[in-house]
C-alpha cells in the first residue's frame, strides 16, 4: 500500500513523484519501458527553461535520480488495469499494487510512418517535434509529413528557419484549418508535395534525402533534405484505463488544468491529457499539478 501510485516515468510522472515525495507521501512509480519517456531519445533540448542544450538522456536521468533520492520507489512493470475503490488496485502482468490515489502519466507515442530506418534516424534528421528541434535546421532543407493542423503549423514554424520546406501529404486537400493553409501557401520557400507518401529514407549516418511516391502515378521523386518532421498524429496510452477516465475522440483522457478525472482519486498528467500544448515544460507542469491535487485529495 502506498499513498500515491504513478503510472509512467516520463517528465510528467517523474515530476509528480518529486512533488509527492516532498509532501512526504509514499510514492511508487510503474514504468513499462525505461524512465524518461520520449524525451530520452532527444539529443539536444533547447527550449526548456534554465537548461539549454542539455541532452534528453541527461535531463531524464537527472529527473529520475532526483525523484529516487527523495524516496520514490520504481518498478519497471506495465500497468494493465485498475480496480476502483477507496483503495485503488493497480494490476501489472506480474503483481498487484494498492494505492490511495493514482496518477496516469502514460504519455502518448508519436504515430510513425513505418518506414525502414525511421527509428534509427531519430535525432539524426528525423524528428516528431518541430518546435523542439527546428532550430537545429536553420538555413537547411527540410520536409514535413502530414496534413493536419500540427503538420501545417510545423511547416509555418520551419519556414521562418529553414531554407526550403516541403510539405508532403497523402491527399490533395488538408484536414488543417483553411486559414492556416492559406498562410502556408503565402510562404515562398514552402513547396507542396500532394497525393504523395514518403516511401524511403536515404541516409549515411544522418538523413540525406527522402524518396516520395505519387499515389496516382506511382512516380518516385527524391528530395534532398537534412530534416524530416513527422506530424501524422499521436497515440495516447489510455486504452487500459478507459473504464475510469473519460476519453475524447482521439483517445486522450479528458481532464482540465487541475488534472482531475471523472473518478475521485484518479488524476492524469502529461501528453495523454486533453490539452492544447504538448511540450516538455507542460508535461512537467502537469506532474506538479496532478501531484498537488492528489495530495489534497488524500487530505480530504
> Which member of 133, 154, 271, 286 is catalytic?
133
Question: DSSP 3-state assignment of 265?
Answer: coil
Q: Domains in the chain, please, with CATH?
A: 2-109+234-299 (3.50.50.60), 126-230 (3.50.50.60)
> How many angstroms separate the CA atoms of 268 and 251, rounded?
13
Grid cell listed for 278 = 504538448
Phi, psi of 123 (to 5 degrees): 85, -5
Strand-pair partners of 204: 206
Q: For this structure, is 132 an active site residue?
A: yes
Instruction: Decide if 21 is catalytic.
Output: no
Q: In this predicted structure, what is the pLDDT of residue 42?
A: 73
- In sequence order, the 6+-apart residues with CB closer than 8 A to the CB of 24 are none
- Cα-based angle 188, 192, 146 (whole degrees, multiple of 5): 125
Q: In the annotation, is 259 catalytic? A: no
What single string gives the DSSP state of each residue in 131-189?
HHHGGGGTTSEEEEE--SHHHHHHHHHHHTTSSEEEEE-SSSS-SS-HHHHHHHHT-TT
What's residue 190's pLDDT?
98
What predicted TM-score, i.e. pTM, was given to this entire model? 0.76
Active-site residue among 3, 21, 129, 154? 129
pLDDT in tens, the chain (300 residues): 999 999 999 999 999 999 999 999 999 999 999 999 888 877 678 788 988 888 889 999 999 999 999 999 999 999 999 999 999 999 999 999 999 999 999 998 888 999 999 999 999 999 998 888 999 999 999 999 999 888 998 999 999 999 999 999 999 999 888 999 999 999 999 999 999 999 999 999 999 999 999 999 999 999 999 999 999 988 899 999 999 999 999 999 999 999 999 999 999 999 999 998 888 999 999 999 999 999 999 996
pLDDT in tens, 100-120: 999 999 998 888 999 999 999
Cell of 167: 510539405
The catalytically annotated residue of 132, 259, 271, 286 is: 132
Give exposure, 163-189, as e/b (b: 16+ Cβ within 10 Å): ebbbbbbeeeebebeeebbebbeeeee
Amino acid at each position: 500500500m502506498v499513498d500515491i501510485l504513478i503510472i509512467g516515468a516520463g517528465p510528467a510522472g517523474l515530476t509528480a513523484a518529486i512533488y509527492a515525495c516532498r509532501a512526504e507521501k509514499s510514492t511508487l512509480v510503474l514504468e513499462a519501458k525505461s524512465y524518461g519517456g520520449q524525451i530520452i531519445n532527444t539529443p539536444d533540448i533547447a527550449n526548456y527553461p534554465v537548461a539549454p542544450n542539455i541532452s534528453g538522456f541527461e535531463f531524464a536521468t537527472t529527473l529520475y535520480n532526483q525523484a529516487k533520492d527523495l524516496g520514490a520507489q520504481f518498478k519497471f512493470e506495465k500497468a494493465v488495469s485498475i480496480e476502483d475503490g477507496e483503495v485503488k488496485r493497480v494490476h501489472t502482468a506480474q503483481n498487484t499494487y494498492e494505492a490511495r490515489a493514482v496518477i496516469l502519466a502514460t504519455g502518448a507515442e508519436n504515430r510513425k510512418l513505418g518506414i525502414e530506418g525511421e527509428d534509427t534516424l531519430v535525432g539524426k534528421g528525423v524528428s516528431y517535434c518541430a518546435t523542439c528541434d527546428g532550430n537545429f535546421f536553420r538555413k537547411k532543407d527540410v520536409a514535413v509529413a502530414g496534413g493536419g493542423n500540427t503538420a501545417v503549423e510545423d511547416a509555418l514554424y520551419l519556414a521562418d528557419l529553414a531554407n526550403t520546406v516541403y510539405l508532403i501529404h497523402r491527399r490533395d486537400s488538408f484536414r488543417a484549418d483553411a486559414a492556416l493553409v492559406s498562410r502556408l501557401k503565402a510562404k515562398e520557400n514552402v513547396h507542396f508535395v500532394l497525393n504523395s507518401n514518403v516511401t524511403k529514407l536515404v541516409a549515411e549516418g544522418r538523413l540525406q534525402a527522402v524518396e516520395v511516391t505519387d499515389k496516382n502515378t506511382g512516380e518516385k521523386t527524391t528530395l534532398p533534405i537534412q530534416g524530416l518532421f513527422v506530424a501524422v498524429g499521436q497515440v495516447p496510452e489510455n486504452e487500459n484505463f478507459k473504464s475510469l477516465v473519460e476519453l475524447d475522440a482521439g483517445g486522450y483522457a479528458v481532464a482540465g488544468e487541475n488534472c482531475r478525472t471523472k473518478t475521485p482519486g484518479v488524476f492524469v498528467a502529461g501528453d495523454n491529457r486533453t490539452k492544447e500544448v504538448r511540450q516538455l515544460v507542460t508535461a512537467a507542469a502537469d506532474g506538479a499539478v496532478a501531484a498537488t491535487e492528489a495530495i489534497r485529495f488524500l487530505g480530504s
